Structures are given as structure tokens and as C-alpha cells.
């Protein structure tokens, strides 16, 4: 199961020009991966916690940029694991490069 932030939540956390990919596109991209059984969306910390409990999630996996920080929902699961970014790939990097080219 993969959880994704709603567009509203992304805008609140990252600014009015985000998200780069809409929630519908992100949902579709993830749903198309054969190893993902279910994609859920959430718009608040409370909704994320609710999804974790109702789906009986045992382990959360989040980006390594969250290591050492409080991870929303960590108290609802048994284990939190971290994954490293692949190279320098990120939406922020893509948008910064696009802005540099357009400037």
C-alpha cells in the first residue's frame, strides 16, 4: 500500500506552484506498478493516521530526508524504515532546473 498527499496538502506544505504532478496522475502512476496493491490519498495528519490504523499498517517506508525527524504516523506503526534518494532525482530539482532555463 502506498499513501500519497492530496494536491491541497502538497500546496500547503510546498507552495502554490506545487504539486508538479496532480494527485490523479500520481495515483495513476503508482496504481500502474504491479507490486503496489493499493494507493490511498490523505489530506491531513489525522487522515494519514486513520489510514494507517484502518489498513493495519505494520511498517512505514519514507525518504531518508526524514531520518532523525518526527514522521507523521510513526506512533501508529511498529517500524519506520528509510530509503535513500536515487541520485539527485527529485521534483524540486526538476522545477529548479526548469526555472533556471526560463530565467
Indicate the number of domains in the chain.
Answer: 1
Q: What is the spatial distance between Cα 45 and Cα 42, in angstroms, rounded to a whole number?
A: 8
Q: Is the pTM of this model over 0.95?
A: no
Digit-coded pLDDT (tens) for 8-58: 999 999 899 899 899 999 999 999 999 999 999 999 999 999 999 999 999
CATH code for position 24: 3.40.50.620
Q: Which of 95, 69, 97 is nearest to 15 (CA)?
A: 95
Q: Give the CB-side neighbour count of residue 101, counting CA atoms within 13 A.
A: 6
Digit-coded pLDDT (tens) for 73-85: 999 999 999 998 8
Range of the domain at 60: 2-102
Amino acid at each position: 500500500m502506498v499513501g500519497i498527499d492530496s494536491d491541497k496538502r502538497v500546496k500547503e506544505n510546498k507552495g502554490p506552484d506545487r504539486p508538479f504532478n496532480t494527485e490523479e496522475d500520481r495515483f495513476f502512476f503508482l496504481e500502474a506498478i504491479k507490486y503496489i496493491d493499493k494507493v490511498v490519498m490523505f489530506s491531513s495528519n489525522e487522515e494519514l493516521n486513520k489510514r494507517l490504523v484502518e489498513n493495519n499498517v505494520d511498517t512505514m517506508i519514507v525518504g531518508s530526508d526524514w531520518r532523525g525527524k518526527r514522521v507523521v504516523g510513526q506512533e501508529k506503526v511498529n517500524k519506520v524504515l528509510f530509503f535513500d534518494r536515487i541520485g539527485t532525482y527529485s521534483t524540486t530539482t526538476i522545477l529548479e532546473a526548469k526555472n533556471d532555463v526560463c530565467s
